[in-house]
Amino acid sequence: FNLYQHNFVRLAVAVPELRVADTAYNAARTVELMKQAAADRCALVLFPELGLTAYSCEDLFHQQALLDGALAALEVVRKASESLPPVCVVGLPLQVEGLLFNCAAVVHRGRVLGVVPKTYLPGYREFYELRHFTPGDVAHVAEIRLGKHLIPFGARLVFRAGDQPLFAFAAEICEDLWTPIPPSSFAALAGATVLLNLSASNVTIGKDHYRSQLAASQSGRCLAAYLYSAAGFGESTTDMAWDGHGMIYENGVALAQTERYAYRSQLISADVDLDRIAQDRMRQNSFGQAVNRHRDEVERFRCVEFQLDAPGDAVLPLKRVYERFPYVPSNPATRDERCREVGEIQVQGLVKRLRSIGSTKVVIGVSGGLDSTQALLVCARAMDVMGLPRANILAFTMPGFATGERTLRQARELMKGVGASAAEIDIRPSCMQMLKDIDHPYARGKKVYDITFENVQAGERTSHLFRLANLHNAPVVGTGDLSELALGWSTYGVGDQMAHYAVNASVPKTLIRFLIRHAARSNTFSREVSRTLEDVADTAISPELIPGKQKGQPLQESEASVGPYELQDFHLYYTLRFGYLPRKVAFLAWNAWRDRDAGNWPSAADAVRPNDVRNQYGIGEI
């Protein structure tokens, strides 16, 4: 129940209120935010460029009093860090062998772990850094002395936690990110999973959007977390203005941002998933190819190791929100776009297959449940795209021993409503013949509803469909969905796992409900069909193979056997997409669903009713 046990790290971006050239004041504000980050159980806190002096000191950077003050401020930060767990990354000017560098100092547990100089210095428009500083790659020393200690120095340093190997970070400074190949690109190839940018980026109209694009793009391209801290209130507005823009991105996704133009110090934090970064780098083998292509650059990096000593609280939940329905966007507009996109993919796949095999017809079994309904809608749209009559959909509903009156009615209405060639085949006589042939107890009048009884029905349906496919020279369109296939909740061999082309095989159960509701509200079909589609979306999920106690009602509900599909699809997403350990998937599920117990779990139908709201199921109004 502790996020640090599952390869998460809580990282912070700080934007302190500053006073120009008042290093004692700036050090005090820095320490205050370090304490806040420690109270928030953060592993690292990032501060702005030249934050111990302020960025806008201009020619004061050549005053020894200011440079000595910066060192004194760094010493204040170092001493404070002795009792504060987070790694602290602060900006200051440093003299090295008679040259002045714009630097990031990495401080942890009373030690300065290393110092990283800025590589690219802007000397255009409103920037005068080349007047004050020397580019980092000019330095030829690998270590500098701070007090009694020799400290690693250079632009190619990666800091790695020995007790959390996936937590490796590297720093670059402001303009470095604006270059065609930022230094952090090579740092990522050298193993850094977290990239830091100490910035003093001034504000102009629209610049915040461009900064966000740069940070998002760099985190996505490098498959890394990217933290950005820009100078805020207190900097001199003589030549420039400042908005205090702080950001945390992970693989191109924004996790947190500061309030711009705040008149106070700020601290934001987010939980970064190191497993996701590592898994994506492993899967995206072009990342490894880039490491090899730039091996000369990568090998120039040095590793500085330290012990993170992450907070060991017994219970430390995630602050980060994980959607309960990862396949279904909570934003209505995004959700509608997702439904359209999924539908187009399904239809295009089927159209391509039909054209490739020269078929103008399809055979499909329609039960009146979720999966076959979605497959039928895909077939209807495919016929429209191909310019063929929907009567070329040869749709069959095949009631068995446990077919419910509701689903049978829905199947009939749907087949007729979409314009398919509809037919009904009662499979009970052929099933009874099979049961007699194998001497099953049910054939002798006993109510034995075992797996054989179930599979005889499933097998008969599939057998009929394949023979109908032979008869009409048309492929069988499969209806089974991703959730059922992943859980093994489908009939092996000649059961509902079989088809010539399965249009729902990549679509999870929770998403299929939304696809059907989207179709119902898209004005594509008649009002009667739309009403039936809404009914289908509200229907309990059942294979309808075992008779219920009341006539016309099935005994089975799938979720009584396999558990709530909402939770299973949550498991499925994080297992398939990211390859997480089962214990981590369980931790994520606990964070997303822990206010639900076994006796208070929403049914599949309840989870998508129109009046649902985010605070009830976490999916927004539907």
Residues annotated as catalytic are 49, 118, 174
Please work out, in degrees rounded to the nearest 5, the angle formed at the alpha carbon of residue 385 by the alpha carbons of 383 and 388: 40
Q: Count CB atoms within 10 A of the CB of residue 140.
A: 8
476: left (phi over 0), alpha (psi -120 to 50) or beta: beta
107: phi then psi, degrees, rounded to nearest 5: -120, 135
Cα–Cα distance list, 247 to 169, 196, 328, 378 (Å): 16, 10, 26, 42
Cα(222)–Cα(250) distance, rounded to whole angstroms? 10
| SS3 at position 63 | coil
Question: Is the CB of residue 545 less than 8 Å from the CB of residue 401?
Answer: yes
Question: Is the CB of residue 81 less than 8 Å from the CB of residue 307?
Answer: no
Residue 587 identity: F
DSSP readout, 167-230? EEEEEEEGGGGGSSS-HHHHHHHTT-SEEEEE------TTHHHHHHHHHHHHHHHTTSEEEEE-
Structure-block tokens of residue 292: 């090899």
Question: Is the CB of residue 38 less than 8 Å from the CB of residue 12?
Answer: no
Cα(103)–Cα(120) distance, rounded to whole angstroms? 12
DSSP letter (8 states) at residue 137: G
> Which residue is associated with the tokens 């079909």?
525
Mark 574-601 as b/e (b = at least 16 C-beta within 10 Å): beeebebeeebbebbbebbbeeeeeeee
| SS3 at position 270 | strand
DSSP letter (8 states) at residue 264: S
Mark 329-367 as b/e (b = at least 16 C-beta within 10 Å): bbeeeebeebbeebbeebbebbbebbeeeebebbbbbbb
